């Protein structure tokens, strides 16, 4: 298949919104609903850097989409469409391409979105992808990183550390003793769940939010610096899955690794102390657990980590791609 | 510099629009003006595939931006902002990075746009970039590829073939006898001029438009298929620059190469036969020459090329990236 056949065969069927013009024009057209504004984000994912070679192609596509949707979720936006830039290796197989497109097809249904445009090319390098995700929210309601106030409580959705343990496992550095933990951790690494429903329900309640992609401590650092506050994280309060608890009990990992590993795609957010009922109700509606893990105070953009009340040493706060 | 320092140092100063949040949030926010809609496009550019290794880094950045702005121009949109995905080689130098950012800085001023967001990472492959360009136009006025009607005249802006000769020269396959031709052709290849002013003025006059990136004949083929018409191109009417005319005279190239070479970033567009005055006035306002090069007729999406009235053989219609 040449470039044009590939687009017609694999990608045009994904361009279900009229403004995509069936991927047959120079650009696409869209409009945010009346009273709404557009939220936009772009992430890059490279084979061997952001995901392991040999990962199921459908899941490569789905993770690419989901890490971007997670950014939209952190702003409180509803996803609408996306543009896709594909750099495929010279030796990519037809089967790989079809599975990649199948992953997008599935997730378009799951998240109610449409492909809007993009570009496809071959590369002498590894497979690499960029995705631009587009969402919408009522004008002026975006949840920013910079809104944390001293006295706010810090919350996190879901569980933290599963992506890090999933990566250790995928790299052959960890084999769970409990066999059922393996598929769970693999799914957490390869198929994260962007907290879209929660993000939208946090609009007007949360004072700030971020998605946990670089590692919880690093991402709290981003919140703290953007807001000009100090944050205290109670490491022992951070919610962990049973597989992660077992990995800790087996001595296969430590808490610092889980809090700095990244690839969680949970939301970390702040809210005034009086917001607990509203937050718990929002989380309940979104079918996701949330846990109180910290507190904001006057400060200079720093994160203090306590474990059972004692300062906890953390050598590296999070993953850096550069 | 790590990823965060790089973004803060090189890219945050480019994020001049408030909705970019200084590149410090999970996503950016923007809104099309009242009565307008958003036009969006995304192109990928890879070292050694879409540009030669050793190209001036400022120009790599500028070409990346301009090929996307050319897509917006073809729709008739006014550029507003862009998102940037960078995959930098492990051995990229600080100097290279600074020159790359400097190219963006210059072109942001030239085109009145702002960086809105993106992602930066290192890659084991070649340098590779993706750019998502965002523009706006009055709702419902986008110029499509599909609007050519039988009887319409086909026009092209500027001159065709300069990018192709510039590439031959850059690859060492052509040395102009006239020394002043070399910088001209180099500039055409490395620093194309997106026809933004013309594109906007063609709204309501042109029946269809495309930007000439794959090669004039190939791009006319896209127009013909999207519109379900036949197109006849008078090859001898296609406007050529003096350097290209000299290359032809020297036997260094042939007309077919110039008409299929790509990288022109001119606009090819159609309009009813009675539109000449309006078109010429629009082109005059946009300070660019336009030339009548063909005619649309009933047909099945094919392009017939005539040279001095005789059918012209063209072996390959245009560049294919895949």
pLDDT tens for residues A261-296? 999 999 999 999 999 999 999 999 999 999 999 999
- Quote the mean pLDDT of chain B: 95
User: Which residue(s) pair with B156 in the sheet?
Assistant: B268, B291
DSSP state string for A236-294: GGS---HHHHHHHHTTS--HHHHHH------EEEEE-GGGHHHHHHHHHHTT--EEEEE
User: Which residue(s) pair with A83 in the sheet?
Assistant: A117, A132
Contact B42, A87 (CB under 8 A): no
pLDDT at B1 > cutoff 80: no
Counting Cβ atoms within 10 Å, is residue A115 exposed (0-12), middle (13-18) or buried (19+)? buried
pLDDT at B322 > cutoff 70: no
Domain positions in chain B are 3-138, 153-311
Closest CA to B69 of B163, B195, B212, B209: B195
pLDDT in tens, B9-62: 999 999 999 999 999 999 999 999 999 999 999 999 999 999 999 999 999 999
pLDDT value for A322: 43
Contact A78, A135 (CB under 8 A): yes
Distance CA B124, CA B147 (A): 44
Q: Which two tokens stand for residue B264?
A: 């022109």
- Distances in Å between the Cα of A106 and the Cα atoms of A63, A195, A196, A267 are 12, 17, 17, 23
Distance CA B146, CA B199 (A): 16
Residues 257..316 of B with a Cβ closer than 8 Å to A: which?
none
Place of tokens 């009922």: A277
pLDDT in tens, B257-306: 999 999 999 999 999 999 999 999 999 999 999 999 999 999 999 999 99
pLDDT value for B196: 98
Q: Which two tokens stand for residue A165?
A: 């343990």
Distance CA A14, CA B253 (A): 41
Which one of B26, B119, B141, B225 makes the best mutation probe of the A interface by having the most chain A beta carbons within 10 Å?
Answer: B26
pLDDT at A229 > cutoff 70: yes
Which one of A2, A29, A43 makes the best mutation probe of the B interface by having the most chain B beta carbons within 10 Å?
Answer: A29
3-state secondary structure of A157: strand
pLDDT value for A4: 79
pLDDT value for B321: 44
Pick the residue from chain B with its C-alpha nearest to A48: B124
The CATH-assigned architecture of domain A153-311 is Alpha-Beta Complex (3.90)
pLDDT value for B278: 98
pLDDT in tens, A148-157: 999 999 999 9
Distance CA B159, CA B138 (A): 29
* Chain A residues whose beta carbon lies within 8 Å of the beta carbon of residue B209: 26
Centre a 10 Å sphere on the Cβ of residue A18 and count the other Cβ atoms it contains.
11
Distance CA B296, CA B300 (A): 11
Counting Cβ atoms within 10 Å, is residue A86 exposed (0-12), middle (13-18) or buried (19+)? buried
Residue contacts between A and B (CB atoms, under 8 Å): 229
pLDDT in tens, B60-93: 999 999 999 999 999 999 999 999 999 999 999 9
**A320 and chain B: CB distance < 8 Å anywhere?**
yes
Distance CA A28, CA A24 (A): 9
- Check: pTM over 0.90? Answer yes or no: yes
pLDDT in tens, B257-270: 999 999 999 999 99
pLDDT at B252 > cutoff 80: yes
Residues 138..177 of A with a Cβ closer than 8 Å to B: which?
139, 142, 144-146
Q: What is the mean pLDDT of residues A112-137?
A: 97
Which one of B21, B27, B267, B269 makes the best mutation probe of the A interface by having the most chain A beta carbons within 10 Å?
Answer: B27
Q: Which two tokens stand for residue B134?
A: 């965002």
Contact B196, B72 (CB under 8 A): yes
Contact A226, A220 (CB under 8 A): no
Pick the residue from chain A with its C-alpha nearest to B222: A24
Pick the residue from chain A with its C-alpha nearest to B35: A31
**B183 and chain A: CB distance < 8 Å anywhere?**
no
Sign of CA dihedral B279, B262, A43, B126: negative
Give the pLDDT band of residue A36 (cuts 50, 70, 90): very high
Distance CA A187, CA A169 (A): 11
The H or E element spanning position A154 is: strand A153-157
Note the CATH number of domain B3-138.
3.30.1330.10
pLDDT value for A48: 95
pLDDT value for A321: 44
Contact A53, B10 (CB under 8 A): no
* Chain B residues whose beta carbon lies within 8 Å of the beta carbon of residue A128: 87, 123, 125, 128
Counting Cβ atoms within 10 Å, is residue B182 exposed (0-12), middle (13-18) or buried (19+)? middle
- Distances in Å between the Cα of A4 and the Cα atoms of A93, A320, B121, B215 are 16, 36, 28, 14
pLDDT at A319 > cutoff 60: no
First vs last C-alpha separation in chain A: 35
Q: What is the mean pLDDT of residues B203-230?
A: 97
A87: nearest CB among B31, B44, B146: B44
Distance CA B39, CA B196 (A): 13
Using the beta-carbon criterion (under 8 Å), do B27 and A43 form an inter-chain contact?
no
Distance CA A202, CA A282 (A): 7
Sign of CA dihedral A284, A287, A289, A295: negative
Q: Which two tokens stand for residue A188?
A: 């957490």
Residue A286 has phi, psi (to 5 degrees) of -90, 0
DSSP B142: P
């Amino acid at each position: 298949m040449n470039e044009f056949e590939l687009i017609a065969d694999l990608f045009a069927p994904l361009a279900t919104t009229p403004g995509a013009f069936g991927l047959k024009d120079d650009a696409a057209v869209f409009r945010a609903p009346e009273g709404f504004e557009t939220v936009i984000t772009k992430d890059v994912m490279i084979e061997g850097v952001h995901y392991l070679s040999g990962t199921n192609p459908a899941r490569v596509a789905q993770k690419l989409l989901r890490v971007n949707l997670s950014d939209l979720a952190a702003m409180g936006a509803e996803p609408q469409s996306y543009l896709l830039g594909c750099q495929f290796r010279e030796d990519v197989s037809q089967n790989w391409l079809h599975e990649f497109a199948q992953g997008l097809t599935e997730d378009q249904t799951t998240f109610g979105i449409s492909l809007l445009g993009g570009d496809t090319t071959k590369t002498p390098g590894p497979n690499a992808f960029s995705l631009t995700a587009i969402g919408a929210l009522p004008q002026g309601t975006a949840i920013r990183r910079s809104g944390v106030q001293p006295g706010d409580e810090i919350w996190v959705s879901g569980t933290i550390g599963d992506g890090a343990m999933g990566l250790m496992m995928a790299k052959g550095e960890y084999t769970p003793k409990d066999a059922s933990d393996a598929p769970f951790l693999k799914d957490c690494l390869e198929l994260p769940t962007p907290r879209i429903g929660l993000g939208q329900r946090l609009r007007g309640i949360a004072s700030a939010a971020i998605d946990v992609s670089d590692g919880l401590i690093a991402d709290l650092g981003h919140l703290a610096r953007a807001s000009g506050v100090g944050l205290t994280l109670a490491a022992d309060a951070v919610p962990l899955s049973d597989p992660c608890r077992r990995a800790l009990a087996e001595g296969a990992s430590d808490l610092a690794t889980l809090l700095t590993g990244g690839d969680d795609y949970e939301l970390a957010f702040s809210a005034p102390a009086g917001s607990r009922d509203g937050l718990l109700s929002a989380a309940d509606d979104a079918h996701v657990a949330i846990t109180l893990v910290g507190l904001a105070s006057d400060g200079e953009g720093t994160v203090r980590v306590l474990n059972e009340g004692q300062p906890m040493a953390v050598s590296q706060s999070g993953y850096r791609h550069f």
